[in-house]
Each structure stands twice: as structure tokens, then as C-alpha cells.
């Protein structure tokens, strides 16, 4: 028996705001959308155009309260081919939330408070 990654899910309050953020910050594009017939939810899958892995954004109708993310000890990670330019973009966007200079990485925060780790391209592929 074998298992392979399919996607990760983040629940979001403002789907349009989140789609804009993920396109601007990480270059992710919509690959698929599913809307409930009764309008109770929308699922949007985002891809990087390079790997089969997807990020699923879930919007639930009527949800107004922020999602409880606990201590936010979970995260997604992205490798960039231009770490310096990525950091400059994210700093300009105001979404850098934590920098670990010792490890040579930083984190950005999306509109709903999810953290995303940004890694430089390395030969050892973290």
C-alpha cells in the first residue's frame, strides 16, 4: 500500500483576499474550484505550476469569526529560487512575521494568520 500527498487545507474568511495574497506572495494560481449547490461552501485549489501538490482554500458561508490557530506551530514551506527578491517582496507586502537569520529562513503570514515558511534553494533540499 502506498500513499502520496494530495493537498493541504486552510480555511479562510475572505476568499478573494486570500486568492489575491497567494497569487501576489507566492505566485499560486487557481487550478480547480468546487462550489456547494446550496452555496454553503467553496473550495479553491491552488497550484505552483511545478509540483502536483495543491493548497485547498475553504470558504464557509456565514463564518465571521477568525479561525483558532492555536500556537500556529504548523505551517507550509516553499522554496524560492531568489530568496533576496522574495524577502524584499514580502517585506513590501508587510507579511513577514518572523525571521530566523541563523537558519537563513523567514515566515510570512496570510490574511487569516497562517504562517508560511520561505526557504532559499539549497543543494541539500530541506
Residues that are catalytic: 117
Cell 479553491: give the residue: 44
CB 81 within 8 A of CB 121: yes
CB 76 within 8 A of CB 70: no
Alpha helices in 28-103 (DSSP H): 83-93
3-state secondary structure of 84: helix
Amino acid at each position: 500500500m502506498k500513499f502520496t500527498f494530495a493537498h493541504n487545507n486552510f480555511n479562510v474568511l475572505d476568499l478573494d483576499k486570500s486568492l489575491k495574497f497567494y497569487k501576489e506572495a507566492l505566485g499560486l494560481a487557481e487550478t480547480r474550484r468546487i462550489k456547494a449547490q446550496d452555496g454553503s461552501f467553496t473550495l479553491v485549489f491552488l497550484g505552483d505550476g511545478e509540483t502536483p501538490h495543491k493548497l485547498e482554500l475553504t470558504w464557509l458561508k456565514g463564518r465571521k469569526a477568525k479561525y483558532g490557530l492555536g500556537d500556529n506551530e504548523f505551517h507550509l514551506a516553499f522554496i524560492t529560487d531568489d530568496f533576496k527578491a522574495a524577502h524584499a517582496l514580502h517585506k513590501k507586502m508587510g507579511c513577514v512575521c518572523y525571521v530566523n537569520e541563523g537558519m537563513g529562513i523567514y515566515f510570512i503570514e496570510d490574511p487569516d494568520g497562517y504562517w508560511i515558511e520561505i526557504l532559499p534553494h539549497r543543494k541539500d533540499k530541506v
